[in-house]
C-alpha cells in the first residue's frame, strides 16, 4: 500500500473526481471551440455549442477526433495557443509519410511530468533511487516523458537513451540503476545480453521496470522479471495525448490506472461509435481534459482494451483498463517505431522496377524486431537481361530508412508470386511471439 504521488487525486472519491472532470470538460469545449478552427467546424456541423456541455454524459454528444484530423492540420493547425506559449514539440509517425505533430505549453509539460511521476511512484520509485531511462530521446516521447517524471518525483535520472546494449548493462551496474524504463522487447534483449555476458539477475541492482510503447503480454512480463530480477510494470500513452503516462500499472499488476483527472476515458464499439457494455472490449477514446496547446476531444486511439470493474487493491480509485490487446487499424510497432503498411507502399510506388504487390514479414530474433519487405518486380524488369536485383533491393532499403526511419531487409520476388487475396489484401505476416 502507498506509493502514491498525488493521493488526493489517485485515491479521490468518484464524486470529487467527476466534479473536476466536468469543470475541465466545460473549459476544454470552450477553449477548443474558440481557438481551433477544426473544432469550431466540427461543433457547428452537428449544431452543438460549448455551453451545451452541462454534465459528463454530454461528452457523448461531442465529435470524435481522429489521427487523420491531426494530419490534415499538419503541422500546427491544431494548436490553440499563440506561438510564444509553445514550449516543446514532439511528433510520431502518421499513416502517410508525414508525422503527427504535437505541441506543449509549459503547463502541458508539467501535467505530463505529473502523470509520469505517478507512474514511477506506483512502480515503487522514491527519492534516492536512480532512474535509468533507456527509451529513445528525441521527437519520440518516451525518453523525455519519463525523464521529466523522474525529476518531478525527485529521483536521480540517468538519461541513457536507447541502444548500445553492453553500455546499458555497464551503466546499470556501475551507476546503480534501481528502475529501468524501456520497451518490453528491449528489456528482454538487455536481459539476454546480460545472461550472455555471464551475469545473472543478482549481479545488477535493478528492482523495477516501467515498460510500454508497444504491445506485450504477461508471458513476456514473466520472462523480463526473471531475467532481470525485477517487477515489470506496464505504462501506456501516445504522442497525440502527451506521451507515456496516460495510464500506468500499480503494485497489483492487474491492469493500468488511467490518470482520469487529465484523460477522460471511453471505450466504444469502433463500428458504431457507441459505448460498449461494462467490461467489454472496444476502442479506447480519450479526451484530454486540460491540455492547453493541443486540446483533444474524444480522440480515437485505435487501441483496443476494456475497463476492469471494481476497486483495485492498491487503494487508487482511478479507473483501470486491461493490457492493450491490439489495434483497430493496421499500425505495427517495429523496434519502437510506428509503421503503417501504407507508408511502405508509398515508398514502393516511387520505384519503377517494382509493383505495389508486397508483403511485410515481421519477426523477432534475439528479442529484436526484424522486418523483411518482399516486393514483386515488374514484368519489364523481370525480362530485362541486365537487371541488378541487389542494387534495387539496396535502393528500396535506403528509401525505407530515409522516409520511415526503419531498417528492413528487402527481397525482390518474381511477378505474381505474392498470394493475391479475394478481399482485403494481406500485407503483413507478424510472426512475433509475445
* Residue 22 vs 120, nearer CB to Zn ion: 120
List the grid coordinates of 369.
524486431
Residue 108 interacts with which of ligand AMP, Zn ion, none, CB < 5 to 8 Å by class: none
Q: Residues with Cβ < 8 Å from 307, sequence gap 6 or more? A: 265, 267, 278, 279, 319, 320, 321, 322
Residue 38-77 contact track with ligand AMP, rule CB under 6 A, x = bound: ----------------------------------------
Cα 301–chain centre separation = 9
Question: What's the burial of 199, exposed, middle or buried (CB within 10 Å: 0-12/13-18/19+)?
Answer: middle
CA distance 260 to 282: 18
Site for ligand AMP in 199-228 (CB under 6 A): 212-215
Residue 260 interacts with which of ligand AMP, Zn ion, none, CB < 5 to 8 Å by class: none
Q: By the 8 A CB rule, do 161 and 134 touch?
A: yes
| Binder among 234, 260, 261, 393 for ligand AMP (CB under 6 A) | 234
Q: Does 185 bind ligand AMP (CB under 6 A)?
A: no
For 221, the enclosing helix (H) or strand (E) is helix 218-228
CA distance 117 to 217: 24
| Binder among 90, 300, 316, 364 for Zn ion (CB under 5 A) | 316
Size of the site for ligand AMP (CB under 6 A): 18
* Residue 87 vs 308, nearer CB to Zn ion: 308
Residue 246 interacts with which of ligand AMP, Zn ion, none, CB < 5 to 8 Å by class: none
* Residue 249 vs 261, nearer CB to ligand AMP: 249
Site for Zn ion in 224-283 (CB under 5 A): 250, 252
* Residue 5 vs 233, nearer CB to ligand AMP: 233
User: Within a 13 Å sphere around the CA of 143, how many CA atoms are in the beta-carbon half?
Assistant: 16
* Residue 313 vs 417, nearer CB to Zn ion: 313
Q: Does 236 bind ligand AMP (CB under 6 A)?
A: yes
What DSSP string runs through 36-102?
A: -HHHHHHHHHHT--GGG--SGGGGGGSPPB-HHHHHHTTTTTT--S-GGG--EEEEE--SSSSPEEE
* Residue 125 vs 336, nearer CB to ligand AMP: 336
Q: Which residue has the cell 477514446?
A: 285
Site for Zn ion in 74-133 (CB under 5 A): none
CA distance 351 to 23: 53
Q: Does 327 bind ligand AMP (CB under 6 A)?
A: yes
Applying CB under 6 A, the residues found at the interface with ligand AMP are 92, 141, 212-215, 234-239, 301, 303, 324, 327, 333, 338
Amino acid at each position: 500500500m502507498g506509493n502514491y504521488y498525488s493521493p488526493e487525486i489517485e485515491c479521490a472519491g468518484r464524486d470529487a473526481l467527476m466534479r473536476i472532470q466536468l469543470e475541465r470538460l466545460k473549459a476544454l469545449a470552450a477553449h477548443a471551440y474558440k481557438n481551433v478552427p477544426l473544432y469550431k467546424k466540427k461543433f457547428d456541423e452537428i449544431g452543438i455549442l460549448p455551453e451545451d456541455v452541462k454534465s459528463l454524459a454530454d461528452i457523448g454528444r461531442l465529435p470524435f477526433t481522429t489521427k487523420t484530423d491531426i494530419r490534415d492540420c499538419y503541422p500546427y493547425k491544431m494548436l490553440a495557443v499563440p506561438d510564444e506559449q509553445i514550449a516543446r514539440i514532439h511528433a510520431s509517425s502518421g499513416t502517410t509519410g508525414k508525422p503527427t505533430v504535437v505541441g506543449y505549453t509549459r503547463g502541458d509539460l508539467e501535467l505530463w511530468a505529473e502523470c509520469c511521476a505517478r507512474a514511477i511512484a506506483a512502480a515503487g520509485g522514491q527519492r534516492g533511487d536512480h532512474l535509468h531511462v533507456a527509451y529513445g530521446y528525441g521527437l519520440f516521447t518516451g525518453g523525455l516523458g519519463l525523464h521529466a517524471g523522474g525529476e518531478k518525483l525527485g529521483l536521480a535520472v540517468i538519461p541513457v537513451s536507447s541502444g548500445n546494449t553492453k553500455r546499458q548493462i555497464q551503466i546499470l551496474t556501475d551507476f546503480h540503476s534501481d528502475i529501468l524504463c524501456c520497451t518490453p522487447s528491449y528489456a528482454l534483449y538487455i536481459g539476454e545480453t546480460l545472461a550472455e555476458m555471464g551475469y545473472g539477475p543478482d549481479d545488477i541492482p535493478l528492482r523495477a521496470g516501467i515498460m510500454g510503447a508497444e504491445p506485450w503480454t504477461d508471458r513476456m512480463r514473466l520472462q523480463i522479471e526473471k531475467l532481470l530480477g525485477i517487477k515489470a510494470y506496464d505504462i501506456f500513452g501516445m504522442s497525440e495525448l502527451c506521451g507515456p503516462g496516460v495510464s500506468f500499472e500499480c503494485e497489483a499488476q492487474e491492469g493500468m490506472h488511467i490518470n482520469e483527472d487529465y484523460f477522460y476515458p471511453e471505450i466504444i464499439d469502433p463500428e458504431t461509435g457507441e459505448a460498449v457494455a461494462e467490461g467489454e472490449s472496444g476502442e479506447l477514446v480519450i479526451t484530454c481534459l486540460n491540455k492547453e496547446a493541443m486540446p483533444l476531444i474524444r480522440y480515437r486511439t485505435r487501441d483496443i482494451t476494456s475497463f476492469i470493474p471494481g476497486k483495485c487493491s492498491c487503494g487508487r480509485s482511478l479507473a483501470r483498463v486491461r493490457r492493450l490487446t491490439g489495434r483497430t487499424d493496421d499500425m505495427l510497432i517495429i523496434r519502437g517505431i510506428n509503421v503503417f503498411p501504407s507508408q511502405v507502399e508509398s515508398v514502393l510506388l516511387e520505384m519503377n522496377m517494382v509493383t505495389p504487390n508486397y508483403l511485410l514479414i515481421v519477426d523477432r530474433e534475439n528479442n529484436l524486431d526484424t522486418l523483411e519487405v518482399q516486393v514483386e518486380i515488374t514484368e519489364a524488369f523481370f525480362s530485362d537481361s541486365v537487371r541488378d536485383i541487389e542494387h534495387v533491393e539496396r535502393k528500396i532499403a535506403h528509401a525505407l530508412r530515409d522516409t520511415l526511419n526503419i531498417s528492413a531487409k528487402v527481397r525482390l520476388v518474381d511477378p505474381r508470386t505474392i498470394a493475391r487475396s479475394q478481399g482485403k489484401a494481406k500485407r503483413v505476416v507478424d510472426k512475433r511471439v509475445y
